[in-house]
Amino acid sequence: MSKKPVELKKEKYTLQVNYNEEACEKKLMKFITPSGDEFTISAEEMSTILIGQVNSDVVEATFVETDRVNVVEVERQIAVRADRDIKKGEEIRLNYSHPYPVEFAIIEEAAKIARIRKNVPVMTLTKEYIDSVKGQITPDQHKFVDSFYKFFKNLFKSKSVTNSP
């Protein structure tokens, strides 16, 4: 196996990544319940689910069963292919960093979707801190976050390609 197996044990499930050659090759994640039932999902499908669920009202980490969220900074890269204005077919890679719950970051780093920036300290977000910040959020900030994540959701929808004149 080329990648180190990763296992995250929680009270209500166990998550395994890189558990065999096929899982490494296809970037699969396996969820196992305490009763032994299991299902497998690809890292790409998981990312699509997570991205599809994020908006200004959803700031909690689904896999975290505590009153605090440990957040790390992750780096991502988006590749886009031009269809006009620059050389057609030329690929552009856009790098960006953002905060992310450590549980998700570990899964995505294992699947080679994102990289944790280890030189940036982990931050712990408590319920009290989140509530105090939430009380200061303006309607304009809500609108910005909703439109920001709408952009990412639209990246993963299949759209018809238009040809340049």
pLDDT score for 20? 92
Spatial distance between the Cα atoms of 155 and 54, rounded to a whole number of angstroms: 14
Contact 118, 108 (CB under 8 A): no
What pTM does this model have?
Answer: 0.43
Strands of the sheet containing 28-32, edge to edge, are 6-9, 14-17, 28-32, 38-42
Spatial distance between the Cα atoms of 137 and 120, rounded to a whole number of angstroms: 25
**How many residues are given for the chain?**
165
Backbone φ, ψ for residue 35 (5° rounding): -80, -5
Beta bridge partners of 9: 14
pLDDT score for 54? 55
pLDDT score for 157? 59
Spatial distance between the Cα atoms of 75 and 73, rounded to a whole number of angstroms: 7
Instruction: Give one word for 104, left, alpha or beta, with left for phi > 0 and alpha for psi -120 to 50.
Output: alpha
Run of H or E residues at 126: strand 123-126
Please list the rounded mean pLDDT of every run of 10 residues in the chain (165 residues). Answer: 78 88 88 89 76 51 59 85 76 85 85 88 85 88 83 61 41
